[in-house]
Chain A
């Protein structure tokens, strides 16, 4: 088990690992001409061509009822679907973080069990809130909407970091930071959208969620920053010896 992230070691990914070989392959690369002319923009041209031909990734399922709206109602449903999915996945991220906390312990100024659990519960309740709103709007909260899919593809690496046992609690906080940054912006935009569509009551409920998200971001950022600073000062991070039944430093 390894609790630190930035230890000195035998990293071999840079050219300085083997200067003689590196000088040799650099020289060879300079001597041999590319087989075809052009530059990195050709890839983008093909991408543009395919984009023009594309039909997108899919659609929003039709709601059973849509009350009092003369705008394009599927946009709101799509964004709500995104929020619900992201909050739901967020719960899994914090479960993973807590599991690492239990085995690795924390550090001075680092995450606490209470703090992680609180955020986990917030994410769960946000998921519940948005699902409820979707149902009330006559939409299916179990559907994966296009925006939900885009958000999931965007954050594909988050569960990968959280569930990788080689990545410690501090590494995991980096993934949580990315999640919370997106989370905050996501709620902000959802509130703007709600107000614009005249859903003022909803907007007020969403504002409470955003207030909670703002706290998540501050907490996660500070935990992470404390961990990095401590390791940089060569203080072992964390101090606690790991093992079952470990009492973490809080």
Chain B
């Protein structure tokens, strides 16, 4: 079953072509498709956004790599388009947002469970509890702004509960930075994990920054501002796990491998044949891109790519619910904070710690995440369903009035 990435050459780069009709396909169904189909689409859009972002950053600083990067990047932009355009138009930005947080919870949980390095695993659990709280805040917003049930998007896979409260997640920038893995000793899975979650979080940030201004309600606008700020923290935190001493080509090879791994994971999960076919096609495309990059790596660095790549791909990401794990983590680590790269109990930090000063300043005009979810407990059918029930049936209602 495991994919041998050295043997499998995929589709050569010059045969990775599209048409506009091909790029703009029938979207998945918001109502009928499984929540994890949406999760995969949102997640892979983030992975591909990062493929572009990484290559652009490198191209700005490297003359020799500009041409090979341009060639791969154009295909990746089209792959991302095809994926992102699978989101259906009846899915509002807020509904897609609920999907983003479900990605951040379930994918990060899968990663945290399998991460062999305990410090990185701790970091994933730390971030997980914060995204877990975001789902609850956005869920409250969805219920209270539009009168709709957030669980119709998350489909009973994921708890909608307060996590580590968003209002206490705000930290001094220096308390978001972590110790990177060591490229010489870290196993490939550790690198794949760190790159994947960094990509997902960066896209989450960019998405909130794009859709936040579309909202008319001031609390919604504030909440997007607040959570976007946390996603920027998460991006800083996760990207600081990456070893800055990896060479540029080493990073590029691992990134292509990471893309193969993630497409392959979606392929292993997906049941909708129309979507599955796309994951198969892009697994093959990314294998082609990986080999293109391996060649470049071997040419330039004179090293064997087998030194850095896994022989076969690790087990696919678990696109499934992780409620037990998340609840256990919440139970044990809700009150964690960070002091520089170290995790500590929040109560053990001095009251004048730089992160407290920072967060008190930001929250001093009120806290959007507290306002939106004040007294909120998720109830099936929205909190109004419970209220309507207390009011009695329509028939009884008529009798009363």
Contacts and interface: CB of A to CB of B under 8 A. Distances in A.
Contacts of B27: 166
Contact of B374 (A13, A15, A28, A38): A38
B222 A11 contact: no
A9 interface: yes
A46 B219 contact: yes
Interface stretch (B185-193, B274-282, B376-384): B376-384
A21 B36 CA distance: 15
A35 B377 CA distance: 10
Given A18-B155, A39-B374, A28 B161 contact: yes
Contacts of A164: 89-90
A18 B374 contact: no
B323 interface: yes
A161 to B, nearest CB: 9
Contacts of B33: 12
Nearest to A167: B90
B380 to A, nearest CB: 5
The listed residue with most B CB atoms (<10 A of its CB), out of A43, A46, A153, A164, is A43
Interface in B46-63: none
B249 to A, nearest CB: 44
Interface residues of B, number: 48
B161 A29 contact: yes
Given A43-B217, A46-B219, A11 B32 contact: yes
Given A24-B323, A28-B159, A43-B372, A11 B31 contact: yes
B222 A46 contact: yes
A28 B327 contact: yes
B219 A29 contact: no
B218 interface: yes
A14 B32 CA distance: 11
Nearest to B321: A21
Contact of B31 (A12, A35, A49): A12
Nearest to B370: A36
Nearest to B222: A46
Contacts, number: 115
B156 A18 contact: yes
Nearest to B32: A10
Interface string A48-63: 0110000000000000
Nearest to B324: A24
Interface in A160-175: 160, 164, 166
14 contacts: A12-B31, A17-B155, A22-B151, A22-B380, A25-B151, A25-B378, A29-B377, A33-B162, A34-B373, A35-B167, A36-B370, A39-B375, A40-B144, A46-B219
Given A28-B159, A42-B372, 18 more contacts: A12-B35, A13-B31, A17-B156, A24-B156, A24-B323, A25-B160, A29-B161, A29-B377, A29-B378, A29-B379, A30-B377, A32-B377, A37-B374, A38-B370, A42-B371, A43-B372, A46-B218, A166-B90
Interface of A: 9-15, 17-18, 21-22, 24-26, 28-30, 32-40, 42-43, 46-47, 49-50, 153, 160, 164, 166
Interface of B: 26-27, 30-35, 88-90, 144-145, 151-153, 155-162, 165, 167, 216-219, 222, 321, 323, 327, 366, 370-381, 383
